[in-house]
Amino acid sequence: MSRKPNAIIFGGLNTCSRALAALLVPADGAERLVEHLRIVDKYSVAPPTTYLGSVFPEVLKQPNVEYRQANLTVASTVSSCFEPPAGQAPYDYVFDFTGEIQWDRPEAVQITHTFKIARLIGLEAARRKVPAYVRIQHPFYQCKESGSHDEKEDVKPEGVMGTWWHETLRALGAIPDLNLVIVRTALPYGPYVNYHAVVPFIAVAACYGYLKQPMKAVNSPGKYPSHTVHVDDIAGAMWACAEWMAKIGRKEADAIAGEEIPFKNEKSKVDEVEGMVPHNQKVIAPLFNIEDDSKVTLVELGNVIASYFGTTFDFHNFVTNMAAKFRLEDVIEDINEVHVSTWTKMITTSNPPVPNTQFSSYMDVYCLKKRVVAFSADKIKNVVGYTLKRPHFNHETVGEMVEKLKAEHSWPNNDP
Ligand SMILES: *[C@@H]1O[C@H](CO)[C@@H](O)[C@H](O)[C@H]1NC(C)=O
């Protein structure tokens, strides 16, 4: 290709598509990777109806970058999003971050907002023969506590959300000639990331650091994998996979990196949901994990974060002692009481005060549940040749995140 590719990003403003946009079209003057970039999501960006962070609005100001607010449940809308602006070549790369990430939404919402939207985008991308279609897969699984943690390991989709995100991979994988690559991530963190469980965990640690008390967690003794990945590596991996796929196409990609995406749903759903792939149809698609090299356990994760804030990490005895009697749902408010009131104090007495921050130390049941996450990144390193930008989860990477949030006034600054 003599020109740079054109790319379109669907969804994910509330997860990690902003980091990819900033990689493709840096706002700091670094060389851009794409000619034209379109980003499509359901949110408004001016005024913002979701947290955007301070960098993304600068990306949108760059030349040949377009944001479009759209209802992607409508097939004709999806199709129109693929029409490039006048004078531009058709899109070369499609990055699909769409899907509902709130774990407690009903199944019907998951089917419409996760399964259906991705399938519409995938069908349209296949129809237009887009050279690369990269789909994100969040860590909505329970992994095994030990083993190789590679892409062949059998992992269990978690709950309604996990089930439909996984089902979406089958639907996309079954679309003939879709140049699909799936990137499956460990626990995400990094600047301007405000989804999943690591970020509230960091806010809670900040509270206990402020109180000068040990941080207490549930799920003792926490010796299970809680592997992390920096958002820059999620973005980097997705870009690397697009370049890899565009050169070889789906058939060769399946031969080199295809994995079976097993059926994990109820068989009765197949007749109820349009586009669902029958349980006995084998689906193969290129799949790559991405995680950092730290491969931390929950205890190690807690130790890194707590020590960054000058405190220590420990476990709630009352929860572990009573685990047989009480459900997490019943003790959730007790667990949150101290650190939520502390966070409120921190953001209101901060210099400057940041009372409207979208970051919170509230830990919901989903955040607190034991979740084993381990997705070895050996395959993407060996097959695609990807090199991690942020291989370690440590004080430096946690500190970079906190300092950038302080600088945009979305994290409390309570330094004396
Ligand atoms: C999106 O379109 C669907 C189908 O027409 C409609 O039911 C839904 O209300 C729309 N959503 C929004 C936010 O407008």
Residue 320, pLDDT > 80, answer no
**Quick check: CB of 73 below 6 Å from ligand 1?**
yes
pTM for the model: 0.97
Question: Which residue has the CA at smallest separation from atom 7 of ligand 1?
Answer: 73
Residue 235, pLDDT > 70, answer yes
Burial class (CB in 10 A: 0-12, 13-18, 19+), 171: buried
Cα–ligand 1 centroid distance for 73 (angstroms): 7
pLDDT score of 222: 87
Residue in 71, 74, 112, 113 to alter for ligand 1 test, most ligand atoms within 8 A of Cβ: 71
Name the percent of the chain lying above pLDDT 70.
97
Cα–ligand 1 centroid distance for 74 (angstroms): 8
pLDDT score of 331: 79
Residue 50, pLDDT > 90, answer yes
Cα–ligand 1 centroid distance for 71 (angstroms): 6
Residue 32, pLDDT > 60, answer yes
Residue 325 pLDDT class (50, 70, 90 cuts): low
pLDDT score of 175: 98
**Quick check: CB of 71 below 6 Å from ligand 1?**
yes
Residue 1, pLDDT > 70, answer no
Cα–ligand 1 centroid distance for 108 (angstroms): 14
Question: Which residue has the CA at smallest separation from atom 5 of ligand 1?
Answer: 74
Domain segments of the chain as ranges: 6-192+228-296+372-393, 197-224+297-368
CA distance 19 to 201: 21
CATH class of 6-192+228-296+372-393: alpha beta
Cα–ligand 1 centroid distance for 91 (angstroms): 26
pLDDT score of 321: 52
Q: Which atom of ligand 1 is nearest to the CA of 71?
A: 1
**Quick check: CB of 76 below 6 Å from ligand 1?**
no
Residue 324, pLDDT > 80, answer no
pLDDT score of 216: 84
Residue in 41, 73, 116 to alter for ligand 1 test, most ligand atoms within 8 A of Cβ: 73
Mean pLDDT in the chain? 95
pLDDT tens-place string over residues 10-31: 999 999 999 999 999 999 989 9
The CA-atom distances, in angstroms, between 167 and each of 119, 178, 261, 284, 292 are 10, 16, 9, 13, 26
Query: 155: closest CA among 270, 260, 254, 292?
Result: 260
Cα–ligand 1 centroid distance for 125 (angstroms): 22
pLDDT score of 282: 98
Question: Which residue has the CA at smallest separation from atom 1 of ligand 1?
Answer: 71
pLDDT tens-place string over residues 386-397: 999 999 999 999
Question: Which residue has the CA at smallest separation from atom 3 of ligand 1?
Answer: 73
Segment 336-349 mean pLDDT: 95
Cα–ligand 1 centroid distance for 86 (angstroms): 28
**Quick check: CB of 256 below 6 Å from ligand 1?**
no
Cα–ligand 1 centroid distance for 235 (angstroms): 29
Q: How far is CA 127 from the centre of its chain?
A: 27
**Quick check: CB of 74 below 6 Å from ligand 1?**
yes
Task: Report which residue type is found at 111.
Answer: I
